[in-house]
Amino acid sequence: MTMNDLLYAVRPLRATVDAKIFSEALKSVVPILKKSAIPVLEEVSVRFTGGRCILAATDMTTWIIREIPASGDNFSFVFSRTKKVERACRCFDGSLTIELTENAGHKDNGGFVQLSCGSRTAEFDTHSAELCPDVPKVEGDVSFTANAASLLERIGRVAYATLKAELDTRGNKTCVEFSGCQVFALDGYRAAWDNGELNFPQPFLVQAAALHHLKVFGSRQVEFRLSKPWMSVTDGDTTVISHTTDSEPFHLESAVPQKYLEEFSVSPREFLAELNYLKDALPTTHKPYVYLRGNELLMQVHDRKYSTAIEISRTGDTTVGFNLNYLRDALNQFKKEERVTVKISGVHTPIVIEAEGRSDCAMVLPLRVVLNAAA
């Protein structure tokens, strides 16, 4: 008998879980996985301990951890080809047995795991759990509770006004900020905010991409706990831990105009339709700058003119310029409303868009007006 034969003759470590619960738990943590130069970060770790099965995945900024009931031995491993495993687990129903055969001769002390459910079995290579990064401990005494779905809805209204993390290393422009009763975002070109009844005990900022993972909680009540530089969110069975940004909170009130020269009402769907027309007509090599003059929307590219009109009744004659894409984003925030109110405070100050009965607002910075006389 060879040395490898002796190694594999050792009794496998064995645990049992409900197949459907395990499949749902694995599915809930898989979305965080992404391509990485570190292979173990592309996989889900599994740990059986004290009658619980704990699945965890991370991109080193955010962790998703799910616990489910289990019985059997205590052991741990990291799946290889996790997404294949997740698809296979969808076909299991009933009692699922998970057996780990370790191989001390493997380069990372991995082995293989066998999944058995009814007449179906599958074997997958594993990595050693020792390769996994440690899960951060969040032990701060600052906490609050919230309904995950309601808070995620508020976040969804404003998160568009952030930069993608890879486009800007200054954390506050990639983050959603929670301060007082407000959830807001601003990237230096536009801002969006939502006022609610929930009062956050201290300001904190989290990257918008990380907050997307709160959907794992559905509509359940969750507890938030803050301990710099981490935030944890849990419902008892599932936990999301994410890095908070160590940036000074922004005072939104200082950026919002306090007085306006004029206000007018407009259909957001009509406004968006005409902006989309101009976007389609504009040569792709030119910046999407649009001007509102009276009720006319106007773009200029050298000696070419593109224009359309919207139904509004304005009391002022201020010509204001905008980045078309940013204005579209702001109007999309209210696209299901019949009317929105557009507030203009000047040529060089932001416009604010809001709708009656809504707790959220949008703001877009203007462009300097450079229309030529022939326009």
**Which CATH code for domain 3-131?**
3.10.150.10
- Average pLDDT score over residue span 74-90: 96
Distance (Å, rounded) from C-alpha 307 to C-alpha 97? Answer: 67
Architecture field, domain 142-254:
Roll (3.10)
Tens digits of per-residue pLDDT, 246-282?
888 888 888 899 999 999 999 999 999 999 999 999 8
Domain 262-364 is classified in which CATH homologous superfamily? Answer: DNA Polymerase III, subunit A, domain 2 (3.10.150.10)
What does the alpha-carbon distance between residue 152 and residue 157 come to, in Å, rounded to a whole number? 9
pLDDT grade for 283, boundaries at 50, 70 and 90: confident
Q: What is the pLDDT of residues 5-15, one digit of tens each?
A: 544 446 789 99
Domains 3-131 and 262-364 alike in fold: yes
> d(Cα 83, Cα 276) in Å, to the nearest integer?
38
Question: What mean pLDDT is reported for the chain?
Answer: 91
What does the pLDDT look like over 145-192, one tens digit per residue?
A: 999 999 999 999 999 999 987 655 556 889 999 999 999 999 989 999
pLDDT higher than 80, residue 110: no
Q: Is the pTM of this model over 0.85?
A: yes
Closest CA to 262 of 308, 209, 316, 334: 316
CA atoms of 199 and 188, how far apart (whole Å): 25
Look-up: residue for tokens 């890095």?
A: 243
CB 174 within 8 A of CB 210: no
What's the pLDDT tens digit per position in 58-72? 999 999 999 999 999
Q: Are 45 and 129 in contact (CB under 8 A)?
A: yes
Domain parsing of the chain, residue ranges: 3-131, 142-254, 262-364
Residue-level pLDDT at 236: 96
SS3 assignment, position 332: helix
- SS3 for 113? strand
pLDDT recorded at residue 372? 63
